[in-house]
Structure 1
Amino acid sequence: MLVIVGRIGRAHGIKGEIGMIVRTDEPDLRFADGAKLVTTSKPPRTLTVDSSRWHSGRLLVKFVESPDRTAAELLRNLEVQAEIGEDERPEDPEEFYDRELIGLKVRTTTGDEAGEVIDVVHLPSQDLLEIRRPGGNAVLVPLVEELVPEIDLDAKYVTVADRPGLLDPEGAEVVPSEPGDAGR
């Protein structure tokens, strides 16, 4: 199964290195020398990692297929995927692959059925679970322990600690921005 592990950023220097926007918790494994990655472009391209290194907090990757800056720039903004075995799991038991979460049933901490996970949205600050609610509406829930206290892959469910407005945006509490703003 192919899993997105990064997005190719801008070229670095003249020898074909690129800055990688990492989308994996295992960059040293996924971008190891010799690793084969597949682009999400049409048609997909296979790229072979020639070398990778950390520089000023950023992962720089050199692909065999990008021998110079010009070739590296042509790869910019492409997402790259790694082949991951169906039964492979991240080393950290608190981490999950997107494919493991999509399709899980969602219930609240009180046991009420709350929908199904239909996607995992990756933002720079945090990940979000996209949940299709009964009735078809979708909501986004931050994937943090306070709001998602339990993920049980064996039982195929996610528990969400519902808060006003989290699973039902219409039920959100309105908080005035300044004293005296209520009722305006």
Structure 2
Amino acid sequence: MSSTSTAADLLVTVSQDLIAVGRIGPARGVRGDAFVEPWTDAPDERFAAGSVLRTDPSDAGPLTVERVNLSGAKMVLHFAGFDTREAVEALRGVRLVVAAEDRPAIEDPDEFYASDLVGCAARTVSGVELGPVADVLDIAGADYLVLHVDGVERLVPFVREVVPEVDLTTRVVTVDPPEGLFDL
């Protein structure tokens, strides 16, 4: 089992329907270009020239990508109508969002969008409620569900042996915790 952010989000759910795919950073230069922090595995697709992106807050957009450049390893976008440093600096911190339904379908039944797991109810195989999935972390290539069990943050390895079932229809994640997982 694994979570994925392919062509969409990196765990930033704006609402049940919207997923953040990036955040506008500081201006670059004086002609209205801005650094953008991509939160997607497919920045070339999401931020291609001509792309129209919704925003959070919504009154900042929609924004149309006019040009894309790279400055070293950093992505630099120019949005149509934002031709000065001051204009684009006003967008700093705005999140760029897409509709959750616009994400490509995942074919593998053992793969999930991490944002779809956040908020799911977690319970043990014996039915003990653990609380909602607060987050999904990717640590050194391994995924972990973040749960708050008895007020303590716990990381649950997102592997079939520990999380034998995920039902996105009922929004329930079943956990079979190994002995001691919640005792630390």
> TM-score range, shorter-chain basis?
0.5 to 0.7
Quote the Cα distance in structure 2 between the aligned partners of 1:9 and 1:35: 18
Q: CA deviation at 1:103?
A: 3.6
Q: Does 1:141 align with 2:158?
A: no
Which has the greater radius of gyration?
Answer: 1
Aligned length: 163
Q: Deviations over 1:24-72 (max 9, x none)?
A: 2222222122222222126452111112233311111111132222211
Bigger Cα displacement from structure 2, 155-164 vs 31-40: 155-164
Q: Does 1:59 align with 2:75?
A: yes
Instruction: Name 2:92's counterpart in structure 1.
Output: 76
Q: Structure 1 residues 7, 148: closer, same or farther in 2, change over 3 A? A: farther
Quote the sequence identity (%).
Answer: 25
- TM-score calculated relative to the size of structure 2: 0.65
Structure 2: state its 5+ residue gaps.
1-16
SS for the counterpart of 1:19 is: strand
Q: Does 1:46 align with 2:62?
A: yes
2:163–2:173 CA contact under 8 A, matched in 1: no
Instruction: Name 2:4's counterpart in structure 1.
Output: none
Taking only aligned residues, the RMSD between alpha carbons, in angstroms, comes to 3.7
2:162–2:178 CA contact under 8 A, matched in 1: no
Question: Greater RCO between the two (CA within 8 Å, min separation 6)?
Answer: 2
Quote the Cα distance in structure 2 between the aligned partners of 1:61 and 1:148: 42
- TM-score calculated relative to the size of structure 1: 0.65
2:23–2:36 CA contact under 8 A, matched in 1: yes
Structure 1: state its 5+ residue gaps.
173-184
